Copies of this chain bind each other. A is one copy, B any other.
Amino acid sequence: MSNASLICDLARQFYDLGWVTGTGGGICIRDGDHVLIAPSGVQKERMTPDQMFTFSVDGQLLDRPLDPALRPSECTALFMTAIRLRDAGAVIHSHSMHAMIASLLFEREFVISEIEMIKGIEGMSFHDRLVVPIIENTAHECDLAASLEAAIRAYPQTKAVLVRRHGVYVWGRDWVSAKTHAECYDYLFRAAAEMRRLGVSDASFSSQPTDAYARR
């Protein structure tokens, strides 16, 4: 499957997950020093491969769809930031309700620990403290680039940045890694809200036995 077809296929899957409704959200896939980016403001579950834009990694427009009404995704600058700073092979932007709500449960950092799905994030293990920085939203998506870059630099281990009252940017070394990260983060965002709703504190029934702490 070509990367253009793959973007359309993934976008349909993300629509069913509630990540890209209302023409929001998106995905880009890098192939060497080319980046394939979907158009802005279109129905993400109805895109076709001929609607994609191609940029160079340094942000030059190389190819565009024939339809003159199409503009590249407003996330382009943000996608490029993650590609440039982290050598990402794919970046997913989701408006998932779970991500949006998670950004309202924490002040500056989303933090969770001891949930198995944390292990789905590259480099993380079960007992690690997973931290996702939260940046403030701006009126225009392109104005997020500076604070996204600052957050990525300040949190060298993160594979995601939450945008308050908005959603999340997630990346990985290739599209499989980015999608896996996006699914794991989404699960963790939802888990945090479910635990809050049920009055289960983060430390309830910790899997690490008490004497293990004592031994430290």
Does residue A43 face the partner (Cβ distance < 8 Å to B)? yes
| Closest partner residue, chain B, to A186 (CB atom) | B21
- Of A49-57, A76-84, A148-156, A201-209, which binds chain B? A201-209
- For the complex, give the distance between the alpha carbons of A125 and B166 in Å: 13
* Cβ-defined contact, B187 with A105, below 8 A: no
Pick the residue among B24, B105, B205 that contacts A103 (CB under 8 A): B205
Does residue A131 face the partner (Cβ distance < 8 Å to B)? no
Each complex incorporates copies of this chain amounting to: 4
Separation in Å of the A35 CB from the closest CB of chain B?
22
Pick the residue among B104, B176, B179 that contacts A198 (CB under 8 A): B104
Known contacts A190-B97, A198-B104, A204-B104; A180 and B136 CB within 8 A of each other: no
- For the complex, give the distance between the alpha carbons of A117 and B116 in Å: 27
* Cβ-defined contact, A100 with B127, below 8 A: no
Does residue A120 face the partner (Cβ distance < 8 Å to B)? yes
User: Which residues between 101 and 138 of chain A lie within 8 Å of chain B, taking CB atoms?
Assistant: 101, 103-105, 107, 114-117, 120, 125-127, 136-138
* Cβ-defined contact, A126 with B104, below 8 A: no
* Cβ-defined contact, B139 with A209, below 8 A: no
* Cβ-defined contact, B22 with A187, below 8 A: yes
Interfacial chain B residues near A209, Cβ < 8 Å: 136
User: Which residues between 59 and 83 of chain A lie within 8 Å of chain B, taking CB atoms?
Assistant: none
Does residue A195 face the partner (Cβ distance < 8 Å to B)? yes
Interfacial chain B residues near A176, Cβ < 8 Å: 43
- For the complex, give the distance between the alpha carbons of A103 and B190 in Å: 16
